[in-house]
Chain A
């Protein structure tokens, strides 16, 4: 069952440049960050005989940097570091909260933000927060560097749109232009820790004085093959005054952007209903 260590080849770059070169020379290699997702597969004997590109020696990708526009979070920053970072907690509290519910302490100390993105699980807890903060995924490859809007980074369940030889270097998050009126992060799982989400939500809303919606951003995970922003509901409420009727109307639009399924963790009906309640409660406060 278990993977066989003798069958694995490990490449250990010590710098970003070396990582890019080694990946270009070994395009079939599998990038490894904290290993909290990959090693589960490997322990099941489902990932044997591979070449691993162990990124844990790449120091450049381990820090959180302030830029003029926002924060640039290195791909190898752990969930525990995000959870505890004072600037992340102040500027991007939904991301800090999301990081604090990934697995449990033992996973948060090892798992990384870049790994959470690269693994592309529909249930990844940090992704709805990154989606409402409109993060950009910065990558490097031999062809150069580029930035991908977060939502375009995912191609499907456990699939990214990264090209062969392309590695995530950082996640850039712009500061919010104005403090939101209300914000929400909520993970719904079977228990408080060590649960995989049935649905996971992040929301930001800005209101005018008369409760007219200036802007709504709401994202859901575990509700579609990839993380989704609720574009139909977001567009519909813009410029309208908040009311019970408006919230109900917004909830009706949820299925335009998500397509929950029945699986071992939950049912499509439960997921949709709970997600609609989360949106409604968020809008009505």
Chain B
């Protein structure tokens, strides 16, 4: 059995130890916010935070997550009570088809600097095939967000 913390809640996983983190999140824990894009670590869609740091959940077998703290897009804000960052994505059209948004939001939520250039560098590990990056960068730079704690 593998024990980990997901969005602040202790979870146990009893399935095969080589199941991928993204599949455990989606299939076993019902957290379908996290999306799989390329499956090669090149698009950033599946990004979640592992101990506070962005990581590609399609490239992590669950056996490596024992005792780790995972945060997914569901941790940011439930429907109706979205975080300022999520609201900014809505307001500035940072989301079109929405597939890249959960990963982008997780990385963006950890950015220390929110100037346009720093945001571009900080989000360089994410591909969007709809909006172009202008709206996404704007969504992050214009978000008025309280610093996430920790």
Binding site for B on A (CB under 8 A): 2-3, 5-6, 8, 10, 12, 32, 35-36, 39-40, 43-44, 52, 54, 56, 80, 103-107, 109-110, 192-194
Contacts and interface: CB of A to CB of B under 8 A. Distances in A.
Interface in B99-150: 107, 122, 124-127
Contact of A12 (B20, B23, B44, B63): B63
B15 A5 contact: yes
Contacts of B125: 103-107, 193-194
A39 B59 CA distance: 5
A92 B44 CA distance: 29
Contacts of A109: 50, 53-55
A43 B63 contact: no
Given A36-B41, A104-B125, A106-B125, 5 more contacts: A10-B17, A40-B39, A105-B125, A106-B56, A193-B125
B144 to A, nearest CB: 24
B132 to A, nearest CB: 14
A43 B50 contact: no
Q: Point out which of A103, A106, A110, A192 has the most chain B C-beta atoms below 10 A from its C-beta.
A: A106
Contacts of B55: 106, 109-110
A203 B133 CA distance: 34
18 contacts: A3-B18, A5-B15, A5-B23, A8-B61, A10-B17, A35-B60, A35-B64, A40-B59, A43-B58, A44-B39, A52-B18, A56-B63, A103-B41, A103-B42, A106-B55, A107-B59, A109-B55, A110-B56
Nearest to A103: B41
Interface residues of B, number: 31
List of 7 A-B pairs having minimum Cβ-Cβ separation, nearest first: A104-B125, A193-B124, A8-B18, A5-B16, A39-B59, A5-B19, A43-B39
B47 interface: yes
Contacts of A43: 20, 39-40, 58-59
Contact of B64 (A44, A54, A107): A54
Contacts of B64: 35, 54, 56
B21 to A, nearest CB: 10
A6 B44 contact: no
B47 A106 contact: yes
Interface string B32-53: 0000000111111001001001
Contacts of B47: 106
Q: Point out which of A6, A40, A192 has the most chain B C-beta atoms below 10 A from its C-beta.
A: A40
A104 B104 CA distance: 13
Given A39-B61, A40-B59, A110-B55, A194 B16 contact: no
Contacts of B23: 5
Contacts of B124: 104-105, 192-194
A1 to B, nearest CB: 9
